[in-house]
Amino acid sequence: MATPITEPVSCDPTRTKPLQDRVAIVTGSSRGIGREIAIHLASLGARVVVNYTSSSSQADSVVAQINSAADSPPRAVAVKADVSNPDDVKSLFDAAERAFDSEVHILVNSAGILDGTYPTVANTDVETFDKIFAVNTRGAFLCCREATNRVKRGGGGRIVLLTTSLVGALRPGYATYTASKAAVETMAKIVAKELKGTGITANCVAPGPIATEMFFEGKSEELVQKLKNDIPLGRLGEPNDVANLVGFLVSDGGEWVNGQVIRVNGGFV
């Protein structure tokens, strides 16, 4: 029997990474899923803007982790911006261009909030509704609008908006949060068509139950276990499960995926 011929593994340290020197803005990336996405994109060669809204300490920690592993730092900077504020969003893109002297190639909008008391519609106050839609829907719109005008055209331009698999699961207690994300999914599909001819793709990534602070907020151990049992793989997702998918979508290999909502939930929905 002939011995199969195998290709040698390349150990060339100068080999170009998939996102080498592309500039990526990741909103809400000081913690949770956004944090993991920022770190993963940096590992693929991207120069990353780590966006935060309030405390800078967590964002600075992410930046330090990325830059400590970089061959030629700085590969990451922290920028404060409220995604629900149009002036802040414009300043976020301005800061990215100044920091890396380049157009922005990638926007990943990961910023999002929910009400950890999980009220029914009957018990949801207008202030909470407006707050959730301001960040989740208005924020996604403002970031997406800025990206459609400023992300690099002609190839490599990527827009990824994080939504939720709850749009498919439709669980009680999540009506406002789910509705705020469903609107984003519709917008992304239309944006993908509006960007025809630019080479920019627009997609949504819709996580299921992911082990983050936001997921655990307000949930009992019994509820967490029940949700875990509802997942065919028998575990909660980890932030890197989402980050790996985002990394593919924003790379050249993900170019043919456009105008889609991709659920990453272990079979939960």
* From 52, 118, 174, 177, active-site residue: 177
- Put the strands of the sheet holding 47-52 in their side by side order: 76-80, 47-52, 23-27, 106-109, 158-162, 201-207, 261-264
Active site residue 118: no
The pair of three-digit structure tokens given for residue 192, joined into one six-digit string: 């993908």
Is the dihedral angle over the CA atoms 61, 181, 93, 108 positive or is it negative? positive
Cα 137 from Cα 93, distance rounded (Å): 19
* Residue position matching structure tokens 């599909």: 189
Cα 246 from Cα 43, distance rounded (Å): 13
Catalytic residue positions, numbered: 177
